[in-house]
Amino acid sequence: MSELYASWYDEIPEGDFISKAPTYKVGELFGRFHKGEYTKGDVTLKYYWYDPREFGAVDDGKLTLLTFLHGTSNSLVGDVCINYTGAELYASDSYQRSLKGAFILIPVANEYRDEEGKVQGYWAPDYLNSVHGLILDFIANQTNGVGLRVLLGNSSGATFVQRLMDNYMDDFDVVIPVGSDALPDDAGLDLYDEKGKCLFLAICKRDEFHPFEENLINRMNRLEKMKNVFLFLPEWTRNGDKGIASIDGGIEMGQHCLMNAVQANLMFDDGTPMDPRLPDGLTGWIADRAGKS
């Protein structure tokens, strides 16, 4: 089989089809985001942010804060990084109505390509203190206080938000790692239960980088026993047109890019949910958590 084709192509169910790109448009909402800069110690981070009050949200000091962390190399594409994090459509009128108003914060890693063309400066533990400081500074200086604090990350950003929650659990309420198997050990999961924290784990069972059968299946029993967990584990990653997501060329990572589905609010274009347990999509699930916080 050509290297341009995924090894799982011959396993696609009869009658199914390949979807080469997300069905949503990219860039239409970039103008709703502001740009900022934050310095802590010798680290300066750029960031994007969205203020729901500018679009009619009533500020009661308890609006949700959604912090999105991008995947490796995504900071190198300029403003398109907003979309690659999954955050762009969460600034749309319909998503904001579902969320009942939410701030959006997008920290940007100081990535660059070295002489060999490899990406350096991506999210790693040495960023933890700076990103944590940025989030707290944003809350203190750009809001009138917030309610539910949600961390959402894609790929290496998913691993990073998991580490943020592990290290600063008292400052966050929900963590949504998308496309990562970097979960805490059982003792760490016990702490989630003790502190009432929520975990929404989203990963495709055919993820190219994190084989489910090798890395996650043995954790399922423990995860299912958690007090506040939602496991979104589709067999295939699908786009809004219900086709199986695929990228032909370079690294085949169509099943790894579950963030496309998250950007689509885990809803298909025809209005049906990607998971029947989420009739109002991810925004509905987050709003429900906000109502209980």
Quick one: what percent of the chain has pLDDT higher than 70? 97
* pLDDT tens track for 186-196: 999 999 999 99
Every domain of the chain and the residues it spans: 20-230
pTM over 0.85: yes
Across the chain, what does the average pLDDT equal? 94
* pLDDT tens track for 64-114: 999 999 999 999 999 999 999 999 999 999 999 999 999 999 999 999 999
18-19 and 119-120 beta bridge pairing? unpaired
Q: Hey, what are 96's tokens?
A: 């904001």
> At 151, is the secondary structure helix, strand, or coil?
strand
Q: Per CATH, which fold does 20-230 belong to?
A: Rossmann fold (3.40.50)
Residue among 97, 174, 107 nearest 136 (CA): 107
